[in-house]
Amino acid sequence: MKSFAEVCAPGVWPGLRRAALLLAFLVAYLPLSFGAHSLQAETQPAESAAVGRLPAQAARAYAELLKLRPGPARQLLRAEPARAAATLLVQDCIDFTELMLSQDATRYEATVAAQDTRLELLERSAERSALRDYARAEIRLHQAAAQVTFGHEVQGAWSLRQAYQQMQAVVKRHPTYLPARKTLGLMQFFIGSLPEGYRWFLKLLGLPGSVEAGLSNLRAAARQPNDFQPEARILLALVEETYYKKPAEALALVTRLQQQQPDNLLYSYLLISLNKKQHRTDAALAAYRGRPTSPGYVALPYLHHMAADLLLYQGQYAASRRENELFLRDYQGQHYRKDAFFKLYLAAWLGGEAAAAEQYRRQIDAGGRTVIEEDTYAQRFFDGRQPLNRLLTRARLQIDGGYYREALTTLDAFRSTAATPLRDQLEAPYRRARAWHLLGRPDSARLLYARTIALAGNAPYYFAPQSALQLGYLYQADGQTNTAKVYFRKAQSYPRHEYKNSTDTKAKLALKELE
């Protein structure tokens, strides 16, 4: 058993912080209920209808928050009893959402203090209901996510422990109250999916986690009628899109929601994000340009960062730089800053502006943190001082943007010689493999992924582990389970590379699926 001093050692925290940031992102962007504005009493389980419903005014306030309109949400909430569980919960969702979206450290102490006050009021409340019990656990989870995100990891770890145990108790006490299963399932899944190197720490806290139990609880909340079913459906869709290769379902769901509520900035954000992840650059930019922008919406600077990537994929370098400059001007957080300066460097460098590119390159090292993998990659680029290859970089951006045949044409101009750095020798076949894979040519992709692995040895780059992961997926799709397992295990075996955390997690979950 490790000592508490070892638990508090700085090296322990990066994986937990990454997991908490992802959890915070989901909780912040999907705080309570995508369905609070469309309750259907006739389909609710009896217990939920009796003790778990949001009052009408609180539901309307929450509907405004889900559109990312906190000001109107607060106005509507003023008519509700100040100490009611529903009021306290929605108030906390508003404050927490603003904190997490702004990443403004000056709001942190006041937000956590307000959470403590709400938790004390709920503890002393005479109200006895599933909603009251759920609110306590949900607010504690918000607090855990905020604490870890803003560097208070020890407090955040214990808050996460409390939230987990409290939500377990809610499920036990109110077994038909499906919203609690939604949140408990989310925690179980992300704790259970953490790489093995961090599991001892969570077990020490009494948080074993379980991918299977988490998915079961999420699916129960997503598939059975309850006030919060739409939120559970989106959370489940995002999990399955990210870890289980089910992109079409998530995109179809978010597309329907955005069409039903074109004034909902959250739905627009999700539509942009999913299209971007699925290499649909034109659709993502269309969603970005069509997003609601009238007064009343919360500032969401990260949208500019996403747009900058999309424009970079298209080779619109000046426009990409403008969007990232807007992001850095308005964003108050520490994450994605290094990535933004790296993308600014790429836009200037590929655009032929060497002096500007060098200025941006130096700023990568000047600020921000290396918790998010994109920031870690940017910092490694700065520290490594190895020049990028212009053709390979352009091909990578074209593939990210969904322009696969254009990328293959770009790669045709690349020539490897004895003087070519090993990184470039590995990147060239890997990029070709990705292009053929995404064009639906698995045989060509397999050959090039295997070539990348053979060339790499134990080189500290992500091309070989990613090749192994993708080969695992290809053999899994073909029904060759044993071969797929070999490659998923190989993907986990590489000791260090830029995307080890996410690669290991995906390989781990794929292996569980094959058991």
190 lies in the same domain as 90: yes
Q: What is the pLDDT of residues 113-128, one digit of tens each?
A: 999 999 999 999 998 8
CATH code, 132 = 1.25.40
Judge if 165 and 306 occupy the same domain. no
pLDDT band at 349 (very low <50, low <70, confident <90, very high): very high
CB 208 within 8 A of CB 202: yes
Q: What is the pLDDT of residue 226?
A: 76
Confidence label for 5 from pLDDT (cuts 50, 70 and 90): very low
Give pLDDT, residue 13: 39
Tokens representing residue 47 in the block: 């217990």
Within a domain: 44 = no
Q: Does residue 36 lie in a domain region?
A: no
Lowest mean pLDDT segment, chosen from 26-40, 211-225, 324-338: 26-40
Compare 481 and 33 and report the one with higher pLDDT: 481
The whole-number pLDDT of residue 46 equals 35
pLDDT of residue 50: 42
**Domain boundary, last residue among 322, 354, 384:** 384
- What are the counts of helices (DSSP H) followed by strands (DSSP E) for the chain? 28, 0
At 196 the pLDDT is 67
Host domain of residue 336: 301-384
| Number of domains present in the structure of the chain | 4
Contact 181, 171 (CB under 8 A): yes
CB 32 within 8 A of CB 228: yes
pLDDT of 28 higher than 50: no
Q: What's the CATH number where 447 sits?
A: 1.25.40.10
194: its two tokens: 């953490």
Does residue 351 lie within any of the structural domains? yes
Q: Pick the residue with more confidence: 375 or 21?
A: 375
Please write the tens of the pLDDT for every residue from 444-467: 999 999 999 999 998 999 999 999
3-state secondary structure 90-152: HHHHHHHHHHHHHCCHHHHHHHHHHHHHHHHHHHHCCCCCHHHHHHHHHHHHHHHHHHHHCCC
The residue count for the chain: 515
Coil vs helix vs strand at 73? helix
CA dihedral (36, 235, 19, 157) positive or negative: positive
What is the residue-averaged pLDDT of the chain? 87
Residue 367 and residue 363: Cα distance in Å, rounded?
7
| Domain termination site, one of 241, 272, 288 | 241
Question: What average pLDDT does this structure show over 350-375?
Answer: 93
Task: Flag whether 445 is in a domain.
Answer: yes
Question: Residue 130: is its pLDDT beyond 80?
Answer: yes
Q: What are the tens digits of pLDDT across the range 152-177?
A: 988 988 899 999 999 999 999 999 99
Which residue, 175, 181, 103, is CA-closest to 145? 103
